[in-house]
Amino acid sequence: MFDYIEMFYNPTRKHTNNGMLSPVDYEMKQQKMNEAGV
């Protein structure tokens, strides 16, 4: 159960405090913005 929550559920579930993005999507968005110099 712990592995499921930590390895699958938490990285993919949406969070309200970051614009309803999953942590993985949020990190990708931040990385693209940094590369673009924003």
pLDDT tens readout for residues 1-38: 888 777 777 777 887 888 888 888 999 999 999 999 87
Contact 14, 2 (CB under 8 A): no
Q: Specify the pTM.
A: 0.62
pLDDT for the residue numbered 13: 83
What's the domain count of the chain? 1
Domain assignment of residue 26, given as a range: 1-36
pLDDT for the residue numbered 30: 93
